[in-house]
C-alpha cells in the first residue's frame, strides 16, 4: 500500500505535469521504476524462488 500511494503521488511529476516538473521528472521516473521493480521482486520473484528450493513435503499417515 505504501508503494502504491508513493507511485500514485509521483505520477503527475513523472509525467511532467505541474510547475518545475521538467527538472524533477527524471528523478520521479527512476523512483517510480525502482519502487515498482522492487515490489514485484518482493511479492513475486522471491516466493517463486523459495518454492523451487523448498518444496512442500506431503505427510503420509498410516
60 assigned to some structural domain: no
57 assigned to some structural domain: no
Cβ atoms 36, 7 nearer than 8 A: yes
Please report which confidence band the pLDDT of residue 56 belongs to, taking 50, 70 and 90 as the band edges: confident
Lowest mean pLDDT among 37-41, 48-52, 56-60: 56-60
Please report which confidence band the pLDDT of residue 20 belongs to, taking 50, 70 and 90 as the band edges: confident
* 6 Cβ contact partners less than 8 Å away, ≥ 6 residues apart: 31, 35
59 assigned to some structural domain: no
Rounded average pLDDT over 46-62? 86
How many Å apart are CA 25 and CA 2, to the nearest integer? 20
13 assigned to some structural domain: yes
Q: Which three cell numbers stand for residue 55?
A: 518444496
Structural domain harbouring 44: 2-50
Would you say the C-alpha torsion 26, 28, 32, 37 has a positive or negative sign? Answer: positive
How many Å apart are CA 14 and CA 21, to the nearest integer? 8
Top pLDDT among 34 and 19 is at 34
Amino acid at each position: 500500500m505504501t508503494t502504491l500511494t508513493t507511485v500514485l503521488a509521483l505520477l503527475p511529476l513523472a509525467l511532467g505535469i505541474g510547475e518545475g516538473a521538467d527538472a524533477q521528472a527524471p528523478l520521479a521516473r527512476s523512483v517510480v521504476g525502482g519502487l515498482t521493480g522492487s515490489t514485484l521482486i518482493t511479492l513475486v520473484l522471491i516466493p517463486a524462488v523459495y518454492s523451487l528450493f523448498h518444496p512442500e513435503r506431503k505427510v503420509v499417515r498410516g
